[in-house]
Every structure is written in C-alpha cells, then in structure tokens.
Amino acid sequence: MRLDFYTLDVFTKQRFGGNPLAVVLGADELSDERMQAVAREFNLSETVFVTAPKNPAHSAGMRIFTPREELKFAGHPTVGTAVLLAELKAGAIDAEQDSIVALEQPIGLVRVGLRLKRGEAGFAEFDAPKIPMDAGALPGVEKLAAGLGLIANEIGFENHRARCFAAGPAFAMIPVSTREAIAKARVNPANWSAAFDEQGIVGTYLYTRQCLHNTSAFHARMFAPALGVPEDPATGSAAICLAGAIHQFDDFPDGTHKRVVEQGYEMGRPSEIQVSLIVRGGALETVRIGGQAIRVAEGRITV
C-alpha cells in the first residue's frame, strides 16, 4: 500500500523553522502497530494519520503518534493538519479565505478556524478541548534542578512555582529565573527519572519571562525523552498548560488576554505560539491556541 504524505513546519511562517510534522493521508486501513512503525520511520516529534471521519459532517479523523506512543491530543499536529486539509480543499487561493475544519481526535472533536492567504503560511486557531487544571505538586526544587542540570535558585521567579498542570496531557511546568539559565538546561540522565518520570507527565516545560523578542511574553523549552522526543521545538498542548499556570500565578482579571510564546530557539527552530486566555468570573473559561504552518515536502510512503 502506498499513501500520500506531506510534511509541514508548524508555529512558523518560514520553512525550516517551527516544529516539523508529517501527515499521512488515507490511513484508514493501517493498524495501530503500522502507524507506530511509520511514526518511528519519520522520527519527528509527532506524525499524524488522517482517516475518514466517523461523522460525515466533520472534516476528518486524525491520530497522533510520537516515535514511541500514541497521544490523545497535541497542539502542533492540530494546527498543521488543519492548515494542510484546508489548503488541499481550497486549491488555488486568489484572495484571503476563512474556513473551519472539524477534526475527530481521541480526546474529542476539535474545531479549528483557518485563514488562508495567497503566498503566506496558513493560520489556524482552536479552543483547547480541555481547560488546564492544577494537577499537583512536583518534587522539591533541588531534585527538579538536578534533573535539568540547573541549580535550585534558578527554579522559580516572582511568585511562580513549579507545578504539574493537565489539559488532557499533563506537563511539569517549570518557571526558570533567566533566559541564560533556560538556555543551559538539559536532560540530566542521572537525575531525570527521579525528578520527572515518576510524575505521570507527558513532558517537562520550562518557561521564563526573559525573551529574545519584545513581542513575546514567555520564552520556553520542552523536553519529553520518555516519548522519544529529546526536545520539542514548539508544543501547543504545553502552551495550554502554561495558560493555566500564568492564570493561577498572575491572577488575570476578567477579559481576554493574549500572549505570545517563543520556543525552539536553542534548537535552531524558531517558533511562535499565540495563546489567548478568556477569564470569566475569575475562572479560566477558554484557552485558545493559534499559529501558522507552511508545507515543506510531499510524497508517497510504502506501508
């Protein structure tokens, strides 16, 4: 069997930046094991397999695999797949076009708003399928710092403290005092497992207010070695959890609050994730994730 596939760079408007994504079309007849084998072959943070939707009113079904396991939901695959399907459906684009793509994922239906414009990377935006929730404390800062190759006083800034947040996938959210400290962070094998592997998390997300660009609110990195992802250039699902952390620690008033997160710079893959928090009655009501994606390659894979 030969299936069409595309690769895209996601959360960027320029090729060879952002987070690479492979999307395999027409994957209805592939077994779980075959999908996992194909994901290992691409060896990207995630590979998407597009299937026919269970509900004909929806656009498509999709499943997401890292090189090691399937995920119920992830942000950059949602953005990249939505942009690709919208572009394939639109064909030649003469003027700006808006559309909606409804994607059936294991976590549930995710509706994505699209904006396509000739000569530009497509833009996609979706509401997080689950609101991020505080999922509990993490080990002490000494243990966390050791797992990241840092020292204890580099963990935390202002009133931000390390916590676990979940919006489907759970992440260790680690505030880091400076961009210099976040740049030298790494997976320290000798101490990583004790700090993070026993917490039931998908990945470890580091963030700081010190940014490279004055248009950004946070600079971030994400490590997920247990998933076969040593470092991720742009992580939409973790950015959803970041919204939960900053709502908790920054105490936003009611209204809509937009922030830009820069990620991937330490990997040479600059990425930009738009995060919107909608607060009502003091509670976080909606988290919206947005970003651009651009096609890089296409072909056929024999499966």
Spatial distance between the Cα atoms of 89 and 71, rounded to a whole number of angstroms: 26
Query: Residue 287 burial by CB count (10 A; 0-12/13-18/19+): exposed, middle or buried?
Result: buried
DSSP state of 160: B
Spatial distance between the Cα atoms of 264 and 146, rounded to a whole number of angstroms: 22
Spatial distance between the Cα atoms of 137 and 152, rounded to a whole number of angstroms: 16
Spatial distance between the Cα atoms of 69 and 57, rounded to a whole number of angstroms: 29
Catalytic residue among 46, 87, 104, 272, which? 46
Closest residue by Cα to residue 103 from 93, 95, 111:
111
Spatial distance between the Cα atoms of 90 and 86, rounded to a whole number of angstroms: 6
266 is a catalytic site residue: no
- For residue 52, give both structure tokens: 């026919």
Query: Checking DSSP bridges between strand 47-51 and strand 60-65, what pairing results, if any?
Result: antiparallel
Strands (E), 12-107: 19-24, 47-51, 60-65, 70-71, 97-105
DSSP state of 88: H
Residues 6+ apart with CB under 8 A from 26: 3, 4, 50, 51
Largest CA distance in the chain: 56
The residues carrying an active-site annotation are 46
